[in-house]
Chains A and B, each alone.
Chain A
């Protein structure tokens, strides 16, 4: 698609460029004051265009133009920087500051207490439970996502089925991705309801005597929540792995077949190594996102029963917005932030290494 477009463009290039020169001069004089506030006269050149403008020497340009040239990229990124500083960097700074003070937000003049909030958090049993639950949810989900994503993508990439079946199944498999968390939460609360369809099936085939309260039983709540999170998240892996599979050169498999490698050996020795970079990126992003999971837990169990499904996200939210313990909440939020940044560090390093 892109190549076709490019081809089309380059065939028209000579003609198009000529037109563009005039238009470009016009649009630039309008945009310039907003962007840089530099005299627009400088920009009103080359219209009407002479052939010599194509050969213009850069040495002839004034120092103002050079300054403008140097500032140009900053002008392009300034809206982004402004927004991210005001709404991302400032709040993160504030929350870190809060974690060192007592009674923030509630009290107008909070007292500096050093690391006291951190000690208080670590001593809180609910926090430790939340940490353990978050790890279980994260590890369980990431492993299952990877496994399911890989299996579905491999099945969909099989040469044995028709393109129509492929398209149909791919469509079905991607469904969970198209629903928002609020909907996924309600949907599963309905399905896992004691009188719901899962319990009906289980009791009918006598796997269980009485209906199970999946989400409100302390023993099953965490497993249920992990299961829902798995269901909601695997399509992200599947689509990426599928794209990766389609990018593996065919001759690698042909060479392996010539060497007498079985299908399984090919999978281990060709497919997996080729998919490695994708799998690593996906896994890291998923680790980051799942450890921050709040909405799904909040809308299915609210962290309960008791603390059975308490996560760092729900723990922080409750501290802040139902107990108004903003200092401790900020501390817990900082812990989550540091964890995420640690994971992000490895993610960024991995991405940079690939570039």
Chain B
């Protein structure tokens, strides 16, 4: 009897492992292939039969990017825009979330519903009037234009998630300070914010990811080469000369690095914070 259950357990374990490995091929193979191809000379990308590891291992793809100031500029732009969006979104969202979590005011539930539904506005719908609007506001082809645009898409989510986070903190925590003569602003920044670091980190990472990855607005709201971000830069590699696949793969790896690093360091916040926020929202 005991031996039988043990055997049964072993069989299930093997089944689970086989399932996991099949899943890993589906999920991981394309990424693995990208990584390998970034070290091949361009002529061997489509070699027949495919070479797992090239005999002519080369860093040419990477070298090409690092030696070209124009391409480094894509990265600088992406970093400037994404970091600004992240900090500004947090600053604005934390204040709004505080109001939603700790105050009762006329119109609160309307604002709440509007913010929830704004998450669903299709970017392409905004696109048509945006061009004119950005030119009028003198924001076309500037960092400010991109930063403000991205904030429109990151704010609703950030506010919802931060409100959810503040709601989990007991009101007594800040009420005591308030009664004590500390104003609302002080209460927020000195009491709530320090306790909410895990939530803030999650929102920050998510915001950074959205801005780092954005494509449509980066494409239409910038005109000159020196304003382009990484996603557009990768696309530009496709048209210029013949396809430099190895270079594109190298740029893809480099372009994914910030998000990969964030993920490695803050994995816990990714899995827990993000999802509980999304679910709580």
Contact = CB atoms under 8 A, between A and B. Distances in A.
Interface residues of A, number: 116
B216 A294 contact: yes
Contact of B96 (A80, A196, A352): A80
Contacts of B16: 155, 158, 160-161
Contacts of B12: 160
Most buried by B among A25, A80, A169, A204: A80
Given A95-B126, A180-B212, A317-B124, A24 B279 contact: no
B273 to A, nearest CB: 10
B131 to A, nearest CB: 8
Contacts of B128: 94-95, 98, 105, 320, 326, 329-330, 333
Given A20-B180, A49-B180, A53-B180, A174 B263 contact: yes
A249 interface: no
Nearest to B10: A160
B190 A24 contact: yes
Specify the main secondary structure of chain B where it touches its partner. Answer: helix
Interface string A160-185: 11000100011011111011111100
Contact of A175 (B17, B28, B152): B28
Nearest to B46: A195
B170 to A, nearest CB: 8
Nearest to A277: B279
A2 B156 CA distance: 24
Contacts of A191: 30, 33
B222 interface: no
B1 interface: no
A200 B274 contact: no
A21 B27 contact: no
Specify the main secondary structure of chain A where it touches its partner. Answer: helix
A96 B63 CA distance: 49
B155 A83 contact: yes
Nearest to B18: A155
Contact of A239 (B26, B115, B270): B270
B173 to A, nearest CB: 7
Most buried by B among A56, A180, A242, A316: A180
Given A24-B183, A77-B99, A337 B119 contact: no
Contacts of A112: none
Contacts of A161: 13, 16-17, 20
Nearest to A330: B128
A344 to B, nearest CB: 4
A87 B117 contact: no
Interface in A269-293: 277-278, 281-282, 285, 288, 292
B186 A23 contact: yes
B176 interface: yes
Interface in B145-202: 148-149, 151-152, 155-156, 159, 168-170, 173, 176-177, 179-187, 189-191, 195, 197-198
Given A20-B177, A295-B216, A336-B124, A200 B49 contact: yes
B62 to A, nearest CB: 15
A307 interface: no
B269 to A, nearest CB: 10
B172 to A, nearest CB: 9
Nearest to A335: B125
Interface residues of B, number: 110
B99 A181 contact: no
Interface stretch (A40-48, A116-124, A125-133): A40-48
Nearest to B97: A76
Interface in B257-272: 259-260, 263, 270-272
Contacts of B120: 288, 340-341, 343-344, 347
Nearest to B133: A91
Nearest to A72: B184
A31 B105 contact: no
A84 B116 contact: no
A272 to B, nearest CB: 16
Given A46-B181, A173-B27, A180 B231 contact: yes
Interface in B35-57: 37, 45-46, 48-50
Interface stretch (A5-13, A135-143, A215-223): A5-13
Given A10-B173, A204-B49, A336-B122, 4 more contacts: A5-B195, A95-B126, A105-B132, A244-B275
Nearest 6 pairs of A and B residues by beta carbon: A46-B181, A24-B182, A24-B186, A344-B120, A180-B213, A76-B99
30 contacts: A5-B197, A17-B176, A21-B182, A25-B186, A43-B183, A46-B180, A46-B181, A77-B96, A77-B100, A77-B111, A84-B115, A87-B148, A98-B128, A179-B256, A183-B256, A187-B30, A187-B252, A239-B275, A278-B279, A282-B278, A285-B278, A333-B128, A336-B125, A337-B121, A340-B122, A341-B117, A347-B120, A348-B113, A351-B116, A351-B281
Interface of B: 9, 12-13, 16-17, 19-20, 23-24, 26-28, 30-31, 33-34, 37, 45-46, 48-50, 92-93, 95-96, 98-100, 103, 105, 108, 111, 113-130, 132-133, 148-149, 151-152, 155-156, 159, 168-170, 173, 176-177, 179-187, 189-191, 195, 197-198, 212-213, 215-216, 220, 230-232, 234-235, 238, 245, 248-249, 252, 255-256, 259-260, 263, 270-272, 274-276, 278-279, 281
